[in-house]
Chains A and B, each alone.
Chain A
Amino acid sequence: MLLSSNQPLIPQVCHTLTLTLTTSAHCLPVSNRPIMNWRFRATLQEYFTYQPKITLLSSFTHHYSQYLFFQVCDHLNLLEKDYFGLSFKDNTEQSCWLDPTKDIKRQIRNSQWQFVFSVKFYPPDPSQLTEDITRYLLCLQLRQDIASGRLPCSFVTHALLGSYTLQAELGDHDPEEHRLDYISDFQFAPNQTKELEEKVVELHKSHRGMTPAQADTQFLENAKKLSMYGVDLHHAKDSEGVDIMLGVCANGLLIYKDRLRINRFAWPKILKISYKRSNFYIKIRPGEAEQFESTVGFKLPNHRAAKRVWKVCVEHHTFFRLVSTEQPTKTKFLTLGSKFRYSGRTQAQTRQASSLIDRPTPYFQRTSSKRISRSLDGGIALHLLCLCVTGTLGLVSNGSMSSALLNETSLYEIPVHRLSLCGCSKLRVQGENIYVRHSNLMLEDLDKTQEDVLKHQASISELKRSFMEATPEPRPSQWDKRLTGSPATSLRLQAHGVRVLVLGIRTPPQTLRMPLSLCSAEKLVYSGCFLLHGSFKCGCVLSLSCSLARYFFKRALKCSETKSCQAAHNFDMASPTLTKTVGINAESRSCVAVRVLRLDGNGDGEPGVLMTAQTITSESLCTTTTTHITKTLKGGLSETRIEKRIVITGDSDIDHDQALAQAIKEAKEQHPDMSVTRVVVHKETELAEDED
């Protein structure tokens, strides 16, 4: 279920602790939802500001886009959202809008998820916007447009708009406080001269008594008249190959050559727009004297650009001209080409909705980012117009994070000690080597025939070798990224704030198993993936929960199809062995943190009939062992399953090897007729948060 933005972002704290080899005790959240932490970084050229962290919860990846956008809007306390959107740069450095109806992962394929919150539809009459805060955000966007040169203006206009900016942000001109250099923080024009600054100050003085909201309104009244206001430009060539610019705006399509507007097609004049290959076509209504429609074609640099222009036109036309968005007609036949339609509200609809807004004017501070450090104590500084959302896979932090707006401190603080993993590229696996030794240990202890052991060892070596031979993946692979967004397993295992290193050894199938389950993991999807790397390095075979295994297996298959990631390659190579262990195999049993899994229901592949259940707890100085014995009847076979949960607390000086070896030894002693089928070691480490 998608969380509404009003719900607390982090579920309540978990009471139980199921960890081993921990260095300190933790409480884990109970949520069974995947959690992604998003870092927002405002980048508005010099308006670069702080990096709040907002945590999103969603069970469905295809809602991430929409949800993310809503989260940002909530953070900004913006209700009139329809004029804005999130954009990102694609592989070719072109700006694209994030489609709220589609999965984020499908749209952005870079490793860094950086989104910019900006104005998508510039309202032709900003005075009709209901809230001041909307106008303020529009002003911020325009200030950037002007400063970057995207919105050209005359000297006087630069000065005038600059003076309104000053009035809005600084209030009345104060000769004492405001010397000439007080405005050096601001950028009013791409090339700012002393003369311009002087003019700005002169005009600033004349606005005495104007409130910030009034100054913003005046700013917009002037800005909206600029010829390039709200014009989205695209490079193109006309039918004769001459370089032109295509401009899409609220009124229609504009054609520019050099600095001159050579043509204009108002929306009512345009009958149809289409694109084919790299060409973009518009069909024009015939004039009074003409009989037939005419078609004008433009050549775009490539197919993507043509499609982009087309999309922008569709969106602008729908937003500004239609009363409501049309529903795409369902056709029985295969429709070629894009069925893209603008999915948001039209201007008419948003205006209607806005008229229903009835809340007291939200308080917000207008400060340039450069002064943010000084103004952290008051309200939420709203220079966030362009936010950079960095999709990092953060961990669940425990403790509640209330609505972003209200609790500023919790928003900015990153509870470091609770977060084990910070981000895709920042993941550090510690204690990896430990497990290599453990695996060997386990191999030795197995009650196997020599032949089996050798065979198994051979396959392990093979795995090791294949992994070592493969080139290391320096950055998170496609698979990693895909997995990070996956709902299924993350649902269950991400909630725990602990890093997982799951490894184990599969013995030939037996009816009796004794898994030593020690803990469960967070962020399993991600770490699971890493695990695979790790495990190959260690030459260990994985034993995973049934559903998790299924998931990885599927993913591996998929990856191997695309041949795009290292992990898949390894996974595939190992698959003969892994399939037995991991695959869609009814015999694999879940062993991972029973307690956790229990919350989500039975992790087992199939239900058995529970016959008896027993729990024994024993404690020593620094360990607590909980043994859970269940006898179930499955398919005619009686299966006894013993799960031992051993929690060893202490500081990091614990010899984990020894502790684990000891635990295994004890377990074997207690149950000589059983064999160790699975060892799951979870180590929770506190990692220092990397600073961006």
Chain B
Amino acid sequence: LLIAVFHYYANCQQIMTRTPLASRSFSHGKVETDEEFDARWVTYFSKPDIDAWELKKGMNTLIGYDLVPEAKILDSALRACRRLDDLASAIRILEAVKDKSGPHKDIYPYLIQELGPTLAELGISTPEQLGIDKL
């Protein structure tokens, strides 16, 4: 009986590590992929009639996660700021993302590069251009 239980357990482990959905052995729920996460957040900020509260809530939640948001999410968020006529929040978002990168100094320049067209289109200045990244 003990051997049977052992074989069953070993089999379970094997099955669980084979499937891409439940990639962790200790959680039985489906794990969201990075693309799904990004898509979800892009959709959140793309809501045409997003209101100020939702923008703040979304942004604060996103910054709470252990990651730096992808350029496409930030693009969506910046466009939401434009719909809400809120330039200050757009600049604040850029500051927050730079701060969120922490010691990885190459993330922020990359994001600014990716967001370049959007920043130019919407007329958003980066904190560096305004000089508020310094004291």
A binds B: no
Chain A positions within 8 Å of B, measured between CB atoms, are none
Chain B positions within 8 Å of A, measured between CB atoms, are none
